[in-house]
Amino acid sequence: MAAYQDAVIKQIKDFSPHLDEYIIDTVYFGGGTPGYYGADRLADVYNTLKKYDNIAVSPEVTVEVNPGDVKLGGFERLRGEGFNRLSIGVQSADDKTLKNIGRRHTFADAEETVSVARQAGFDNISVDLIYGLPEQDIDGWAETLARIVLLKTEHISLYGLKIEEGTRLFEQKESLAVPGDDAQADMYLYAVDMLAQHGYIQYEISNAARRGYQSKHNMKYWLCDEYIGFGPGAHSYFQGRRFSFVKDVANYITQVTSGLEARDYCEEISDAAHAEEYLMLRLRTTHGVSDKEYYDSFGRKMDPALGKLREYELHGWALARDGRWRFTPKGFMLSNTLIGEILAAQEKQVAE
């Protein structure tokens, strides 16, 4: 951890000259389990950023934690250093389900973590949930949501289960009773409706929040704003390029320590690619897209996309409001397919 910490801090210092013209208004400590990394190390990384006088007056500073990983003293240290938002990986309110998927915490640990964070002064807390877990049905999912609402957090993220190769669940997938696509769709639509009734308004495919508590950092991704990532496997979009750093931790430490950039990927984003990303990313949000905004930004029309969106409107997958098009919750469930069709239609227009 010490060598890794030194490398991350060195990478920030080496990159700092590129940030002279920028104001940092969001900072996000994510990926893996940052809470386990320790409040002191997290504070040291953030303090490195502060040294360059680029931090906004009231930035959004988020750290991901798992229930039970950070105690009161750690939260107080983080809050005192300027961290003001937490994202807690609760995943389920059912202890049996948590055990089945290899989580170390119980729901009581999650309740305690929220309580302790409040004591430390955190007034912007998000929880992550997963639906479609093994042996989960709509009733169990409804019970989880009911218990989560009682936590009264400001933000809730909902993610459908994806079983990744190399995980324990992947090895067991043949014997797991995993809900099918239709059951997962029912869980998703139930959650969107139920949370709205309790004041959590959906603003992106996987996220809902009380008014004024949308994740400012996550919205940067969907609105094509610039961001810089530090650490192995971190991705960035900066000055017209997308790039990432090597994933292997030892290789990352060696390259950064040697004064190398440690990049493993870099791509210049063309105007055509930027126009494509506008549609692909903004259609993830309830803010949606606008043909005027598209034309003003890229000097081209989005008539093929509008044709598709009008078609989707007939199926209840999209709607138009105040000059903007967006997907409905049912449309979000099909968004990968629908966005693919929209992009193909736009590309066909360019080719012709």
235 within 8 A of 242, measured Cβ to Cβ: yes
Q: Are residues 178 and 287 in the same domain?
A: no
Q: Decide if 146 is inside a domain.
A: yes
Q: What is the pLDDT of residue 223?
A: 93
Contact assessment for residue 301 and residue 295, using Cβ atoms and an 8 Å cutoff: yes
pTM, two decimals, is 0.93
Q: Are residues 86 and 206 in the same domain?
A: yes
Residue 97 lies in a domain: yes
Residues 67 and 162 in one domain: yes
Same domain? 214 vs 277: no
Q: Closest Cα to residue 59, out of 30, 34, 27, 94?
A: 27
210/324 same-domain check: no
Q: What is the average pLDDT across 339-349?
A: 91
Residues 28 and 229: their CA atoms lie apart, in Å, by 9
205 in the same domain as 299? no
Q: List CB contacts of 244: < 8 A, sequence separation 6 or more.
A: 229, 233, 234, 235, 236, 263, 264, 265
Domains identified in the chain, total number: 2
Q: Which two tokens stand for residue 41?
A: 């190390």
Q: What is the pLDDT of residues 93-133, one digit of tens each?
A: 999 999 988 889 999 999 999 999 999 999 999 999 999 99
The verdict on residue 48 lying in a domain is yes
pLDDT in tens, 241-260: 999 999 999 999 999 999 98
How many angstroms separate the Cα of 332 from the Cα of each of 214, 285, 312? 18, 9, 11
pLDDT tens digits, 17-68: 998 889 999 999 998 789 889 999 999 999 999 988 789 989 999 999 999 9
78: in domain: yes
Are 45 and 163 within one domain?
Answer: yes
Instruction: Return the sign of the alpha-carbon dihedral for residues 101, 105, 111, 115.
Output: negative
Return the beta strands (E) in 164-292 as ranges.
Answer: 201-204, 207-209, 235-238, 241-245, 263-268
Specify if 248 maps to a domain.
no
Q: Is residue 128 part of a domain?
A: yes
Task: Average the pLDDT over 326-349 and give the result.
Answer: 94
In this prediction, residue 312 has a pLDDT band, given cuts at 50, 70 and 90, of very high
Do 212 and 294 reside in the same domain of the chain?
no
Q: What per-residue confidence (pLDDT) applies to 10? A: 96
Residue-range definition of the domain harbouring residue 315: 271-351
Same domain flag for 208 and 334: no
Instruction: Say yes or no: 211 and 280 in one domain.
Output: no
In this structure, what CATH number is given to the domain that contains residue 315?
1.10.10.920
How far the first Cα of the chain sits from its last, in Å, is 55
